[in-house]
Amino acid sequence: MKVNIYDVAKAANVSIATVSKVINNTGRIGDKTRKKVNDVIKELDYKPNLMASALMGKKTCTIGFILPDLANPFFSELARYVEDMASSFNYNVVICSTDYITEKEEMYVSLLLQKNVDGFILASGFESFEAIEKIQAMNIPIVLVARNAPGKQLNLVSINDYDAGFRATSYLIERGHQQIAIIARNIWSNRERYRGYADAMRKNGLVPMDEYYYAKESTIQDGFKSLQQIMKVSSIKPTAFFACNDLMATGAIKACKKLNLNVPEDISIIGFDNSIFAQIVEPALTTVEQPQREIATEAVQLLMNAINGDNAHQTITLKTKIIERETVKNLIL
């Protein structure tokens, strides 16, 4: 039923070695032989079994992409671009959602390692190094996305979260806001953005909200709860919120509606990611853009280089940009 290399060899009156050589364009093969073999291959519609060649040390042309949650548009868009780019190299990507659970990441990594994937893109944002070390122990290339790994020699592609947080906050301050709250989650990228936020506040003689993270997850729900929570506990009410992703910003906007606060008249909000949500919500969200396509492109490119033997470790930092829409009010007039 399934035709293999022997069938081709037989039909072409050559040895399997010859067939293998014409398939892989290795060794020297006479023109007539090559043509003959190719004809037979076409005729029998022969497709080499990639598992078998993988067993012989060839690539599996598959990469693992590990992320927290595919339902988060930031990640699904990222995944889309990763997949696109990978496919341009004839690679497939198996996507794994960890659901923010470390054990799942390790489980997926183990499984994919057993399946001999050629490389990993890790966007799960975990603090633990278990998975990374497991992969490195097998000498498999990794690139980390939106995360750092101090003290590790790795490929990284990310934005400068500190800087982005600083600029988002400054943007608000420049527009006259003084009471600025932050909705963040306790993960590395958000902590960096918090640092940027706090420094921007202090630099302008303002006092940052203390290092208290209200959001458990980066969801609409948690953004919704966080804003209400902050409004409730603050003695001096914030006039602006910096939400560390668009989902939470969306939730924050919803919360404002519930509290009968108008955005941006009463409360200004700036988000993060510039995912599709930013254009959908009402009012349209002013937000910090992450160049997802570039992130994905660079990540895959780096991974491919590594897979093809490039042992250098690169860190690529991409630019962010504030996309002005309708959720920030200028208090200075």
Residue 5 touches DNA, criterion: CB under 7 A: yes
- Tell me the closest approach of the beta carbon of residue 94 to DNA, in angstroms: 20
Amino acid at 77: E
Among 17, 50, 101, 207, binds a second copy (CB under 8 A): 50
The span of 21-29, 94-102, 172-180, 325-333 binding a second copy (CB under 8 A) equals: 94-102
Q: For 285, which DSSP code?
A: P
Of the pair 17, 101, the CB lying nearest DNA is at: 17
Distance CA 93, CA 112 (A): 11
The binder of 207, among DNA, a second copy, none, by C-beta within 5 to 8 A per type, is: none
Contact status: 166 vs a second copy (CB under 8 A): no
Give the nearer residue to DNA in terms of CB position, either 13 or 234: 13
Q: Which is nearer to a second copy, 32 or 42 (CB)?
A: 42
Strands, E assignment, the chain: 62-67, 92-97, 119-122, 142-145, 155-159, 180-183, 240-243, 268-273, 286-289, 315-318, 321-323
Span of 19-27, 229-237, 252-260, 302-310 interacting with DNA by CB under 7 A: 19-27
| Binding piece for DNA, criterion CB under 7 A, among 27-35, 139-147, 194-202, 213-221 | 27-35
- Report d(CA 252, CA 296) in Å as an integer: 28
Is residue 226 part of the contact set for a second copy (CB under 8 A)?
no
Eight-class DSSP state of 223: H
Two tokens, residue 65? 């992409």
Decide which of DNA, a second copy, none touches 24; Cβ closer than 5 to 8 Å per partner kind: DNA
- 59 part of the interface to a second copy, by CB under 8 A: no
Q: For residue 108, count other CB atoms closer than 10 A to its CB.
A: 21
Q: Are strands 286-289 and 321-323 parallel, antiparallel or unpaired?
A: antiparallel
Q: Does 80 bind a second copy (CB under 8 A)?
A: yes
Q: Which one of 6-14, 69-77, 80-88, 188-196 is the stretch in contact with DNA (CB under 7 A)? A: 6-14
Distances from the Cα of 263 to the Cα of 176, 269, 270, 281, 296, angstroms: 16, 7, 11, 11, 33
